[in-house]
Structure 1
Amino acid sequence: MKSPLKSPRNNTAAKRGYMVQSVVRAVTILNAFQSTSEVLDLRVVASRAGLHKATTFRLLETLVETHLLERAGKHGYRCCVQPARAKRYRIGYGSQTSLLPFTATVSDGLVVAANAANIDLLVLNNGLSPRFALQNADTFVSEKVDLVIDSQINIGVAAQIAVKFSEARIPFIALDIPHPGATYFGADNYKAGRMAGRHLARWAAKAWKNGPEQIILLGVDAAGPLLNARLTGVLDGINEVSAFSHRIPTHHYDTKGGQFEATLDIVRRHIRRRKPERALIGAVNDSAALAALQAFREAGIERSCAIAGQDGSLAAREEMRRTSSRLICSVAYFPETYGERIIRLALDILKHRPVAPAVFVQHEVLTPQNVDKIYPNDAWMKSAPETIEPQRKLQ
């Protein structure tokens, strides 16, 4: 009598019976490394592999002894073999704009990190335009990318973009502005603004005997309350230190995306109309902050203002190094670190690893007193020769 045919399910079970679990776990450890340049510690490897730390440690040490891994530093490990990939991921990146230094730094970092991780990155420019952002979302869907990293500030189209990706079953990461259904990566906007407001108020209490006589807030209304939470934080931070903002007029302006030229024109008009004598200025980003500073300088009344920016850009850091500059501070987000972190987050999502719904970046108040300590290599960066930027696709 012929033996009964085995079902595919039985065949799978039979194959599993031949598997050596210790080998499977060792391969899982190796696959936790995304490239041969990545250095991971025990905690990260255990999290990515989904194994207990003690088991992970024994496997790591075994792989080191067999020369498949090597130790890097005191607590790190580096993979000596290129991890096998079932496929090369293709990720779409909708850049907010190429006009702002902050987003340009983020874009450059993403290109480098994607290349290191063997990812095909399709880059399109949202150009601060809701129409372009919607068109680019359609392009990402038609290109059937595996995941989208979207940086666009127009809250009015956030739900439409989210639906496009949801219907196409494409996971996405929203930079700076939360979108429905997206994993958020970026600033804690209110917290960052509050840090700036506290510093402004402390500075004003020391520098101006009679305190400020007005507050100017330079925001981005297209982003809704989310990005402008930085300005809410500025006011609350001022109130924590003093009662300035309860008794003096506050002027809010939309800077059309935080762009330099638009802000410069707005602050010039404000100076002509309001003739400020002691103005505290909270700006949504460094471009707006530097534009406000230029407007006061042009009018010959720079000492009538004290300005707090956001981003910690190179231009803001250079300005704070000027003697007696009235750019009092800028809250740094360290965009030069975004690329590697975002790509790592994207790979975790694509590999169905658990991720937090929101990943907030580090914030630190930069001042003329600490800027050289936090960014000691700025002078070297300015004198370093330019490198050839990797090719990328732009709209």
Structure 2
Amino acid sequence: MSSMKDVAKLAGVSISTVSRVVNNVAVDGNTKLKVEEAIKKLRYEPNLLARSLRQQVTSRGETLFPAPYAIYEKYREYAKTGASYPNQPGQGKKLGFAGNYGTQPFCIAVERNLIKHAKLAGFEDQNLLLLDNQYDPDIALRNADIMLEYAPDLFIEHQALVKINSMIAIKFADAGIPIVAVDVPIPGAPFMGCNDWQAATMGGEFMAKLIRERWGSWEALDLVILLQNPVGGEMTMLRSEGFATALAQEFGEQIETKILRADGGVGGAEQAKIAMDGILRTYPNAQRIALTSLNEETMAGALVALQNANRWKSDQIIAVTLGVDDLGKLQIRKGLSNGGVAFFPEKYAEYLIPAACAILEGAPVPSHMYVENVIITKENIDQYYP
């Protein structure tokens, strides 16, 4: 049986272009003709579920056209049940995944969840290739080449550096292999992950609330530290800049005189610790500090720096984390952080695998698939993680 990948190869176009033709989305006339000729020659037919969802007929003979992402949403419903997908859309398909950093709690949760849901969708062990980018651009590029040699039907990429993602996007576009990007955008690929601006403004509003409750006013605060990840690109920077916006809305534009932005690295504890060590040396008299960072691992590095400098006092530090992975849960329960904006990494595959299945059937998926966000504190953590 021919696949969309076969059609793309014969027509000399990308899989996404074939998808647009199949779904009657406007493309160049010559391109559409080439794709239609390839479809006819290969006798390719879209998946039965896809066809039934694209067009349904009522008992009165009226044709119904459901929402454009009906197939993706159908698979989302399957995923949320935690049961096997009825039609096993992944059966016989090859799926590739490269994680951001295999030993980081957040990434571990994402990968475990992805393996679980891939199997529920019918992907078999021998057709899953899992790699670890290790926060290293050179390794990420090597992994991309390994993945290209493996030639999956679809590649899910979780990689922190925007520049590297642009290079990877070109390689896979040339090979006609679709990509789904995780947490950091990839040109031309649908994005799945956190709405960084929403998460950051939620975190900033929570931080502002804590500042008022604990110290009464902005004037009583010495310093706000935003440990950022500049190489992650504009979207990742929003993850901290939203804090500044929320604080300005609460306390006024004068907040900028007390906000310090620093490069906290791409996600590891050591880089964040080094950055925080330097900040504490530069601001030896800052006692009342509010702090956020890219994730809980970088927060761990910042907290170690505070402890080593004898600057850690629970009533003098407000720490708001992002992600709430296993490390983040521990930080909240031990009182090392005041709370965090949850990304629920253990649910990422409930978006990723439905998207993969829909794309492989030629169905469109949303350009951005965002996880839900919730503020989790010591008071409510057991409601979400008993």
Scaled by the length of structure 1, the TM-score of the pair is 0.73
Rounded to whole Å, the distance in 2 between the matches of 1:178 and 1:156 is: 10
Amino-acid identity (%): 24
Rounded to whole Å, the distance in 1 between the matches of 2:206 and 2:231 is: 27
Rounded to whole Å, the distance in 2 between the matches of 1:279 and 1:165 is: 45
2:273–2:302 Cα contact (<8 Å) kept:
yes
Distance 1:48 1:280, change over 3 A: farther
- For the pair 1:230 / 2:242, whether they are aligned, the reply is no
Q: Give the structure, 1 or 2, with the largest relative contact order (CA under 8 Å, sep 6 or more).
A: 2
Partner of 2:4: none
* CA drift at 1:307: 1.0
* CA drift at 1:315: 2.3
- Structure 1 gaps, min length 5: 1-23, 33-46, 56-71, 378-395
Partner of 1:272: 281
- For the pair 1:212 / 2:221, whether they are aligned, the reply is yes
Rounded to whole Å, the distance in 1 between the matches of 2:118 and 2:170 is: 26
2:162–2:232 Cα contact (<8 Å) kept:
yes
Rounded to whole Å, the distance in 2 between the matches of 1:355 and 1:84 is: 19
1:190–1:233 Cα contact (<8 Å) kept:
yes
Distance 1:351 1:238, change over 3 A: same
Rounded to whole Å, the distance in 2 between the matches of 1:245 and 1:308 is: 21
* CA drift at 1:247: 4.9
Q: Which has the higher helix share?
A: 2
Partner of 1:182: 189
1:306–1:326 Cα contact (<8 Å) kept:
no
The amino acid across from 1:233 in the alignment is G
Q: For 1:234-273, what per-residue CA distance to the aligned partner results, in whole angstroms no more than 9, with x for missing partners?
A: 1111112222753533222222212112212322332233
Q: Which residue among 339, 342, 347 is the counterpart of 2:349?
A: 339
Number of matched pairs: 316
Rounded to whole Å, the distance in 1 between the matches of 2:364 and 2:268 is: 37
Range that drifts further, 227-236 or 253-262: 253-262
The amino acid across from 1:93 in the alignment is F
Rounded to whole Å, the distance in 2 between the matches of 1:360 and 1:348 is: 17
Rounded to whole Å, the distance in 2 between the matches of 1:112 and 1:313 is: 18
Rounded to whole Å, the distance in 2 between the matches of 1:293 and 1:53 is: 60
Q: Which residue among 341, 360, 372 is the counterpart of 1:362?
A: 372
1:215–1:248 Cα contact (<8 Å) kept:
no
Partner of 1:44: none
2:88–2:122 Cα contact (<8 Å) kept:
no
* CA drift at 1:326: 5.1
Partner of 2:38: none
1:194–1:234 Cα contact (<8 Å) kept:
yes
1:98–1:104 Cα contact (<8 Å) kept:
yes
Q: For 1:125-166, what per-residue CA distance to the aligned partner results, in whole angstroms no more than 9, with x for missing partners?
A: 111122222222222222211010001111112221111111
- For the pair 1:104 / 2:115, whether they are aligned, the reply is no
Partner of 1:145: 152
- For the pair 1:221 / 2:223, whether they are aligned, the reply is no
Rounded to whole Å, the distance in 2 between the matches of 1:215 and 1:51 is: 54
* CA drift at 1:51: 4.1
Q: For 1:27-84, what per-residue CA distance to the aligned partner results, in whole angstroms no more than 9, with x for missing partners?
A: 94xx57xxxxxxxxxxxxxx973244867xxxxxxxxxxxxxxxx9xxx9x889x647
Rounded to whole Å, the distance in 1 between the matches of 2:372 and 2:104 is: 20
Rounded to whole Å, the distance in 2 between the matches of 1:258 and 1:340 is: 24
Partner of 1:316: 328
